[in-house]
Amino acid sequence: MTTLTKTTVFKTLKPRAETALDKTTRAAKGILEGEAEKSQVKTARLRKARLEREASTPASHY
C-alpha cells in the first residue's frame, strides 16, 4: 500500500479517451432521448385535443 501524501491524494487523473463504443452509446442515447421528448409532446397535444373534443360534445347516455 502506498503512503498517502499531498501529491498522491490530490493527484489529477488523466481523462481516458472515448472509445468507438462510447461514441455509439452517446449517439444512441441522444437519439432515444430526442424521440422520447417528441413522443411526450405529441401525447400531450393529442390528450389536450381529445379532452377539448369530449368537453365540447354532449355526453350521450344509453
Query: Cα(6)–Cα(11) distance, rounded to whole angstroms?
Result: 8
Burial 34-52 (b: 16+ CB within 10 A, else e): eeeeeeeeeeeeeeeeeee
Domain boundaries, the chain: 30-56
This prediction has a pTM of: 0.59
User: Quick one: pLDDT at residue 45?
Assistant: 98
Residues of the chain with pLDDT under 50: none
Query: Cα(5)–Cα(35) distance, rounded to whole angstroms?
Result: 49
User: Quick one: pLDDT at residue 22?
Assistant: 95
User: Quick one: pLDDT at residue 30?
Assistant: 97
C-alpha 54, offset from chain centre: 32
